[in-house]
Structure 1
Amino acid sequence: MPVRVADGLHWDVLCLFEETKQGLVRAAGRRVESVGVDSWGVDYALLDRDGVLVSNPYHYRDTRTAGMMEEAGRRVPREEIYRITGIQFIPLNTLYQLLAMEGSPLLDAADRLLMIPDLFAYWLCGERCCERTAASTTQLYAAEGGWAWDLIRRMRLPERLFGEVVEPGTALGGLRPELREDTGLRGAGVTAVATHDTASAVAAVPARGQNFAYVSSGTWSLVGVETERPVISEEGLRYNFTNEGGFGGKNRLLKNVMGLWLLQECRRVWAREGREYEYGELARLAAEAPPFGPLVDPDWEGFLLPGDMPGRIRRFCERTGQRPPEGVGEVVRCVLESLALKYRWVIERAERVSGLRAETVHVVGGGARNELLCRLTAEATRRPVVAGPDEATVLGNVLVQAYAAGMVGSLEELREVVRASIPVRVYEPEEAEEGWDEAYGRLSELVGVASGELAEGGLV
């Protein structure tokens, strides 16, 4: 969870690193050859010339990036930014976080930028470098490889911040001596895995070939297809698709969908009101609620920040001419049906942009355990849904370490290990139900509703 202090939302990285160390202590006494760190993308740490943390890293949901996408567009045209980086325009990107720091003494004091997993790897072994899959989320990394130096200069960002970039599967070195002493892991090395958690998760998708879509489902849902090279086009820009690095030289063509964050925030608000719900109970209430009720666009920017999510959902529905959901079950049903339909919206456009046909949808991550969401996704997309593994990020992390150690030789072999090791559940779409096409039409109309119009109604 983020920590809110006077200047905004931050990550408590010292606490997170201490918990990481305690995890390593628990592994003492076992044969541990390698440690790999992955985390969410876009957030970063700044170090001074001595390698000391300048300040606690900001959280991507902090509001300081308001207006920064527009400022970036004044410095470099939006179309050119996309042509160079292939990255979607979303306020939380590293580019806009850094622009928000312009003139800050913290930025003046900084000598090197490390993404969050790179920071932890540095604290573990002393190597200061950025891993490619995490660097690719910054909107400052060129789609064809390497830092986008011309873009960095034109954005007036300090070039000194951007150091060496390494490939996933790179051995970085052994644990620092003090960590070997503290943890008892004297022989372990540190490996740069696919450090963006979605890159690790997609590496562990138990698919064959290319004709599949994936939904890495958790707080965010990352929905897309895997391609051999970045796919950068006017159509990709129009739909705001992103091209991020993947393991094995692959490209992840995807969109961020707000994901189960909506449900997590609803649950937090209900708990604060004295109504504690387990996720299983919420799924039961949603299953009992009538289908094809009100819908929301999960990606409306008003849902990005913490707050009264049930109230925002109701107000979104009111402002878009829908009957607001009543009761907990209807709110949850609204969220889950909206997510399933938005997955269909993204997958169809990913096919159009890439030229691929996604015959199967692989759902990995925590959302693979949500049976109702998986079933609704199969019905909404009219495709089989393969659910699992739910710990895909962990598996991808470990198997890239195995690749670095020479135990597996390719992405295809890695996925074969997953298929042979982890059971999955398949949800087949039932006979087409008329209500899905009508609901999809309504969802499609909601996508692209002007944020300004909704904000005027006090949704935020």
Structure 2
Amino acid sequence: MGIVAECRRFFAAFFDFACGPTFFSPPSNLCPFKLSQGANMSAAEPSSSEVQFSGPVHLAVDLGASSGRVIAGGVNDGRLELVETGRFVNRPLKVQDAMLWNHLQLWQDIQDGLRDASLRAQSSWSGASIASVGVDTWGVSFGFVDRHDQIAGPVWHYRDARHRGMAEKICEIVPKETIFQETGMQFMDINSLCQLIAAKQNEDSVFETAESFLMMGDLFHWLLSGERSVEASNASTTQLLNPATQSWSTKLLDGFGLPPSWFAEPSPAGTTIGNVQPSVAMDTGLHDVPVILPATHDTASAVLAVPAEGFAPASPDWCYISSGTWSLMGVEIPQPNVSPLCSELNFTNEGGVRGSTRLLQNIGGLWIYQQIRAALDRQGNAPSWAEMTQAAAGAEPFALLVNPDDPALVAPDNMIDAICGLAGRTGQRVPTDNGVLFRGALEGLALRYRMCLQHLEAFTESHIKTIHIVGGGSLNALLCQMTADACGRRVVAGPVEATAIGNILMQMIGSGSLHSIDEARQLVRHSFPTQTYEPQQTDRWDEPAAKFATFFE
């Protein structure tokens, strides 16, 4: 699944912290994440605090699992510029024992951000026009629309307790080998298929009333345009889509007793599905504005914005990490890989743009790091993010190895207690120093990336020279350097706003102002700063890596 961009707000504190070459500070025109200077870090910053668009402007609604934004993007002097017109919290609801998405509040917040963009286009952006709008979201979540054109039932959160253990239960209905051969998907309790079967087993009323299944981005595109569509990249996170045919697996729909009529044929990113419908246009000012599908899965959009050269080669020489609360590490290749080894190692084939495949693994990401701070916050002793990184940098290396994918760390009541318990069970010293906790969380991620890199090279029979880290985690210079050191590869960090950038780029391709993925990535390289980290003392990581590998035996 592709859930990215959740920790952008958390990393804002890094921007006020400078400690030599370890951190870098992007300019502040897009509060707080505007990155409008060129790839050269010494390039002059824009002279004004507000970008002045004068041509076509594309609106990206970028929804992460904890926050959302509306970002306007357009080209000025050959560079893509960004302006944030809306920012809001995505806070799930607890209704009795159920954990749900507050999709109606999100819809209100989206409209507020779109209205602000429309007002700016009519006033301060002289000569600008809103050319299109598109929505990207995290993966796996979905809703239903009924025959009365109303949302049917609640929209369940993927972390709801009723989904636990479903990855095993679905294999009792249809064999695991069949599911993987049909979908190439990693087995996780949060997958849409698991959520659907949980709903069926709970006899949810939606099975009686639903007419259309829509992924989260598609749900908001329907609210915008009135048109029901399913974009292909997010459909690939359902564990129901065949990645080779880009169509729904009838074998699985039949096997699980899911109505085929729910599932519209997936549409490729770049498709114009219609215009903003009149009722929404009246409220937002977006009259006759096309709704263009980006890659609605946030990771697919983020990968489009990776500043690499080349598109979907058979033997890639670069990989990506979309780094946030989750880390999604993979390669962009032309065809899916559904080999037994891929299934055994729990890799996944997700849809990319222009028919490409993102062969990747979902890794726990900065979730543990965030939840350590949350536990300290409940004790009234929360450090800043900068203080955490300082403490981690000064702590003893490899004193604690933390597997970010350990089931005990998925959703514990107290992350510190969970890590201490895990240390005891794995024969490690129980940490008594916060710096060791912080460092262990980051070193564990770097070691997990090292394992994933080895597998990616084996799958593709290639040598990966560069790791591109995009998203909020690209701002954590300590983690970026650890990744370079652990993997023995050059790391290129940035852009931070990769998801929104990729959303805008796909709208530009769909509208004809860009003509290829290569052209889009060239624009990214020309428009946004990156930071390069070269590997140092890689051999120091060999012994910890060998011990870390035993956690997966």
Which TM-score tier does this pair reach, normalised by the shorter chain?
over 0.9
Aligned to 2:212: 112
- Which deviates more, 110-119 or 325-334? 325-334
Pair 1:363–1:100, CA change in 2 (3 A): same
Q: Which amino acid aligns with 1:92?
A: I
CA distance in 2, matches of 1:444, 1:70: 24
CA distance in 1, matches of 2:457, 2:504: 30
Aligned to 1:23: 113
CA distance in 2, matches of 1:277, 1:76: 48
Aligned to 2:97: 7
CA contact (8 A) 1:214 1:364 kept: yes
Of the candidates 353, 361, 365, which is equivalent to residue 471 of structure 2?
A: 365
Aligned to 1:454: none
CA distance in 2, matches of 1:244, 1:381: 24
Look up the SS of the partner of 1:165 in the other structure. coil
- Which deviates more, 313-322 or 60-69? 60-69
Q: Which amino acid aligns with 1:117?
A: G
Of the candidates 135, 146, 149, which is equivalent to residue 37 of structure 1?
A: 135
| TM-score, structure 1 normalization | 0.95
TM superposition shift of 1:432: 3.1
CA distance in 2, matches of 1:83, 1:410: 31
CA contact (8 A) 2:325 2:364 kept: yes
Aligned to 2:546: 441
CA contact (8 A) 2:330 2:361 kept: yes
- The CA RMSD measured in Å over matched residues stands at 1.2
| Equivalences, count | 447
CA distance in 1, matches of 2:192, 2:178: 17
Q: Does 1:391 align with 2:497?
A: yes
1:83-134, Cα deviation, whole Å (9 max, x unpaired): 1100000110000100001122222221111000000000001110100000
Of the candidates 435, 441, 448, which is equivalent to residue 329 of structure 1?
A: 435
CA distance in 2, matches of 1:422, 1:199: 19
1:168-208, Cα deviation, whole Å (9 max, x unpaired): 00011111111111111223221110000000000110111
Aligned to 1:290: 396
CA distance in 2, matches of 1:309, 1:136: 31
Of the candidates 292, 297, 300, which is equivalent to residue 191 of structure 1?
A: 292
Q: Does 1:247 align with 2:326?
A: no
Q: Does 1:406 align with 2:516?
A: no
Look up the SS of the partner of 2:417 in the other structure. helix
Of the candidates 442, 447, 450, which is equivalent to residue 344 of structure 1?
A: 450
CA contact (8 A) 1:325 1:334 kept: no
TM superposition shift of 1:256: 0.2
Q: Does 1:304 align with 2:410?
A: yes
Look up the SS of the partner of 2:509 in the other structure. helix
- Which deviates more, 60-69 or 117-126? 60-69
CA contact (8 A) 1:248 1:410 kept: no
Aligned to 1:155: 256
4+ residue segments displaced more than 3 Å: none
Of the candidates 156, 175, 191, which is equivalent to residue 276 of structure 2?
A: 175
1:293-347, Cα deviation, whole Å (9 max, x unpaired): 1112111122222531111111111111111222321111010000011011111
CA distance in 2, matches of 1:172, 1:7: 37
CA distance in 2, matches of 1:183, 1:306: 41
Look up the SS of the partner of 2:130 in the other structure. coil
TM superposition shift of 1:283: 0.7
CA distance in 1, matches of 2:499, 2:209: 34
Q: Which amino acid aligns with 1:43?
A: S
1:138-185, Cα deviation, whole Å (9 max, x unpaired): 000012110111111101122222113100000111111111111112
CA contact (8 A) 1:265 1:306 kept: no
Query: Which ranges in structure 2 are unaligned for 5 or more consecutive residues?
Result: 1-90, 122-128, 311-315
Aligned to 2:125: none
Look up the SS of the partner of 2:521 in the other structure. helix
Aligned to 1:122: 222
CA distance in 1, matches of 2:487, 2:132: 40
Aligned to 2:187: 89
CA contact (8 A) 1:303 1:309 kept: yes
Aligned to 1:165: 266
Q: Which amino acid aligns with 2:99?
A: L
CA contact (8 A) 1:140 1:148 kept: yes
| TM-score, structure 2 normalization | 0.79
Pair 1:188–1:306, CA change in 2 (3 A): farther
Structure with more relative contact order (C-alpha pairs < 8 Å, separation 6 or more): 2
CA distance in 2, matches of 1:424, 1:340: 19
Q: Percent identity?
A: 42
- Which deviates more, 205-214 or 83-92? 205-214
Look up the SS of the partner of 2:273 in the other structure. strand
Q: Which amino acid aligns with 1:247?
A: V
CA contact (8 A) 1:296 1:446 kept: no
Aligned to 1:216: 322
Q: Does 1:58 align with 2:163?
A: no
Aligned to 2:56: none
Aligned to 1:132: 232
Q: Comparing both structures, which one devotes a greater share of its residues to strand?
A: 2
Aligned to 1:453: none
CA distance in 2, matches of 1:432, 1:221: 22
CA distance in 2, matches of 1:321, 1:158: 49
TM superposition shift of 1:66: 2.5
Pair 1:7–1:108, CA change in 2 (3 A): farther
TM superposition shift of 1:277: 2.3
Q: Does 1:260 align with 2:359?
A: no
Q: Does 1:74 align with 2:179?
A: no
Q: Which amino acid aligns with 1:141?
A: L
CA distance in 2, matches of 1:112, 1:306: 35
CA contact (8 A) 2:486 2:538 kept: no
Aligned to 2:69: none
CA contact (8 A) 1:173 1:190 kept: yes
